[in-house]
A and B are shown apart, each in its own frame.
Chain A
Amino acid sequence: KNEVEQSPQNLTAQEGEFITINCSYSVGISALHWLQQHPGGGIVSLFMLSSGKKKHGRLIATINIQEKHSSLHITASHPRDSAVYICALTSGTYKYIFGTGTRLKVLA
């Protein structure tokens, strides 16, 4: 079993929809990260979480440490949100443990 599981693997939404991407993990963590990779290839760090909830614009990330689960929400989705969203963990070492990514396509 992978240490980090993301769902869904692929997601297609209509513009304006509320989107949720889930990340479950099985190891103890020091932090959980959400990354965004656009079709052009660049990778951007969206959030780093160790507890609670963070918000940046239309993006909201939450984490439940007891349930070992995090969610990334996108409100009022837009075609420019189309990207691969990656959950990654840091767990006491100098390395990320990556999820397999969720490919999101938002249709106009």
Chain B
Amino acid sequence: NAGVTQTPKFQVLKTGQSMTLQCAQDMNHNSMYWYRQDPGMGLRLIYYSASEGTTDKGEVPNGYNVSRLNKREFSLRLESAAPSQTSVYFCASSESGQGRQYFGPGTRLTVL
């Protein structure tokens, strides 16, 4: 089992460019999450999907959109990247909302 995979690992964008971060899990988990982690700060929830077909905003959703494509995949889209979105992005999944979360390796994004 690969667990939670994320692509790409690194990305550099110019202000105003768009991109999609991909996340997939092979554990048949119902819930999936997108977090960002800024230097010296903790993890902040951007969006989550409690189950296939549902998505909800977290603490810091502005500037992002998500798609729960199917049970395995949960993508995060930046429509018009801004330097404030420079961060490390983590995807996670859990069997249920109350359960242990399994994290992907992260995507390091720089917006110039």
Contacts and interface: CB of A to CB of B under 8 A. Distances in A.
A96 B101 CA distance: 9
Interface in B67-112: 88, 90, 92, 97-103, 105-106, 108
Given A41-B88, A43-B90, A86-B42, A95 B100 contact: no
Given A41-B106, A42-B105, A99 B42 contact: yes
Nearest to A96: B101
B23 interface: no
Given A42-B105, A45-B100, A94 B42 contact: no
A22 interface: no
Contacts of B50: 94
Given A41-B106, A42-B106, A43-B103, A98 B43 contact: yes
Interface residues of B, number: 22
Interface string A65-100: 000000000000000000000100010111110111
A98 B42 contact: yes
A45 B102 contact: yes
Contacts of A31: 98-99
A33 B100 contact: yes
A96 B45 CA distance: 9
Determine the interface band of chain A, counting residues with CB < 8 A from chain B: 20 to 34
Given A95-B48, A99-B42, A42 B101 contact: no
A15 B58 CA distance: 40
B25 interface: no
Contact of A93 (B97, B101, B103, B108): B97
B97 A33 contact: no
Interface of B: 31, 33, 42-43, 45, 48, 50, 56, 58, 88, 90, 92, 97-103, 105-106, 108
28 contacts: A31-B98, A31-B99, A33-B100, A33-B101, A41-B88, A41-B105, A41-B108, A42-B103, A43-B90, A43-B103, A45-B103, A48-B100, A86-B43, A90-B97, A90-B98, A90-B99, A92-B98, A94-B31, A94-B48, A95-B48, A95-B58, A95-B97, A96-B43, A96-B45, A96-B101, A99-B42, A100-B42, A101-B42
